[in-house]
Amino acid sequence: MAATFGRELVGMAVLDARGDRLGDVADLVIELLSGDVLTLLVDLESDLDPDKLPWPFEGGLLLLPVDEVERVAAQVILKR
C-alpha cells in the first residue's frame, strides 16, 4: 500500500474474516524510504480483550501487520 493510499485508511473500520468488527484504524506505521504501510494501529472495540488476539497490543492500540489484510474496500477486511 502506498503512503498516499495509507492516509485514506485512518478512521476505517477493521473487520475480521467473519465480519466481526475489531475496531478502527487509528494510525499507520510507514516505511520512510519506500512509503509502504507496514502496520495498522487499531483502536480496539471496548468489549474485546487484546490478550485473546494473535497480534501485539501496545500503548492502547493493536499493532496489525499489513500482510494480515485481505482487502480494503469500505472497510479493512482481514485474512483471518
Which CATH number covers residue 61? 2.30.30.240
pLDDT value of position 2? 47
Tens-digit pLDDT profile for residues 18-69 = 999 999 999 999 888 988 889 999 999 999 999 999 999 999 999 999 999 9
pLDDT value of position 6? 66
How many angstroms separate the CA atoms of 71 and 77, rounded? Answer: 5
Number of domains in the chain: 1
40 strand-pairing partners: 28, 64
pLDDT value of position 5? 66
Distant-in-sequence, close-in-space partners of 20: CB < 8 Å, separation ≥ 6: none
User: Whole-model pTM?
Assistant: 0.89
Distant-in-sequence, close-in-space partners of 16: CB < 8 Å, separation ≥ 6: 22, 78, 80
The boundaries of the domain holding residue 12 are 3-78
* C-alpha cell of residue 64: 496489525
